[in-house]
Amino acid sequence: MSHDTGAPLQPSAQTPWSQLEKAVLALFALALLASLVVLTHPWNALVRDASTYLVVAKSLVAGEGYNYLEVPFTLRPPGTPLLLAPVVATAGVDFFALNLLTSFVGAVGVILFFVYLRDSLGWGVALLASTAVWLNPAFRDLSNQAMSDIPSLTLVVASLLVERRCHDGSGKQNALLGLLLGLGVLVRSANLLLVAAIVTSRVLQRWRAPEGNRETSAWAKTSLLTPVIVAVLVVSPWSLFTQMNPSPDVDDQIGIHSYATAMLHTDWGNPNSPTIGASEIFERVSLRSGQIATVLGSRLTVDRFGNRDADRPASAVEIVVTATLIACLLIALWRRGEPVELLCLAILPVTLVYFGFRSRLMLPVFVLALPCLLWVIRDIAAKRGFAQYGVGAALAVVVAMLVVDFNPRAGWGETEQAHAQWAQSCSALESALEPDARVATRLGTHLAVCLKQPIYSVEFATRRNGDTQGIAQIVETYDIDTVVLETKGPLAEAATTLYGAGQPVGPMSIWHLDRGA
């Protein structure tokens, strides 16, 4: 079932694929692709970042550029909107097609993950571990969203697989690695950590084995400079775009001026707001530590909706599971020093001080720490002369995960209900709004996905200035002629104070403003 079962942890070597392994890979790939039919749903998960990506993709398709509300979108790189744009261009905002695209990219990533694991764990453990990732409720949930998480993870796994095969390879192989690294950064900025992890790993492994066959300068040129330079070239157009289009002084639509502002300032959208102090950083680290333990310890199965469960105290079992994963990462780092351990151990401290938290931030750590756990289990048994038991223990861990966490359609009922309410609001407003209206609502991203009019948000301005003044500021700044808000709530009361009674449209109320008065 497996090969190299008793080898200690070390940089993984490739062995030729047997006919059986090739057949297993082919059947596994076919099974994943076939399962897309029953594991892909046709609903909008109503994740704000996903809606933002879709709005930007619509702008690209309309020939309006990489913009959000007619302003260059410089907060996030263009990889995900560019991936979504062909679907939007051919099928419109069809959520089955969009979710199917993300799920397909996820399937490619899991197939590559199987290949990556097979080199060091054998095809049996690799098959079960890859299946556990594919059926993990969080992985399935994210596979049904127009988000960057799944495409980013797929590019990370592809990069790790190529890195392993071109560790001392040719310039062309390392150029391919650089291309994948650059594409990864264009999908998710945090993938810069992978570039640093690969460079650090190669330097460490070169230092550990100074008897290499090449001159150090030639090795550095091929194995370090080539992938880094190619990655920089791939990312450079995006860097130039951000430099030519600086963010507004204060952001009142996205909610974040820049990642640096959000990390260091009390107001995420205002770089002139007070900076956070040491006590706030300590409080953030303390909070994130518990959230990380809850999420990793539960194998990412905590509730996505409102992130409620991620804020509860971690259970004893979750703390033990998280501590075990981190310990295995450290052991693997000491014994092998491969990029996968360095990447996971870099993501964790960054998340500890990150300004916001969502369970999905731990997706790459969970997926990539899993093989480290299995490697360590197998290695401990092998060093004590029980290699066959090590493989059995690794298999038992994965089977337990499959059984305990099996719920590949978790949250589908809530998602369908939320989608129905969103679609109802979209339908009602589509007929009630003038074609050339300029609309303000609480958060415009979700409605902007389905409506053709520009939809602005009052949420961030009202947080800063109060409900009445915040609404008035957005109306004045963006020449708004239509305000749409939920009929009940403080924002509707503020709009009524400013503009009189609104016109009920389903669960919403509309205020048509006379901007010429």
Q: What is the pLDDT of residues 367-415, one digit of tens each?
A: 999 999 999 988 887 777 666 778 888 999 999 999 999 999 999 999 9
pTM, two decimals, is 0.94
Rounded to the nearest integer, the mean pLDDT of the chain is 91
What does the pLDDT average to over 412-440? 94
Identify the residue whose tokens are 């310990």.
327
Distances (CA, A) of 353 to 197, 283, 397, 398: 19, 9, 31, 31
**Which of 72-81, 269-278, 287-296, 381-390 has the lowest average pLDDT?**
381-390
Q: Are 440 and 458 in contact (CB under 8 A)?
A: yes
> What's the pLDDT tens digit per position in 323-374?
999 999 999 999 888 999 999 999 999 999 999 999 999 999 999 999 999 9
Provide, rounded to the nearest whole percent, the portion of the chain with pLDDT above 70. Answer: 93
Higher pLDDT, residue 214 or 466: 466
Instruction: Return d(Cα 254, Cα 114) in angstroms, integer.
Output: 38
Short-list 443, 449, 411, CA closest to 142: 411
| Res 2 pLDDT > 60 | no
Could you tell me whether strands 455-457 and 482-486 are parallel, antiparallel, or unpaired per DSSP bridges? unpaired
| Res 516 pLDDT > 80 | no
| Res 214 pLDDT > 60 | no
What pLDDT score was predicted for residue 13? 57
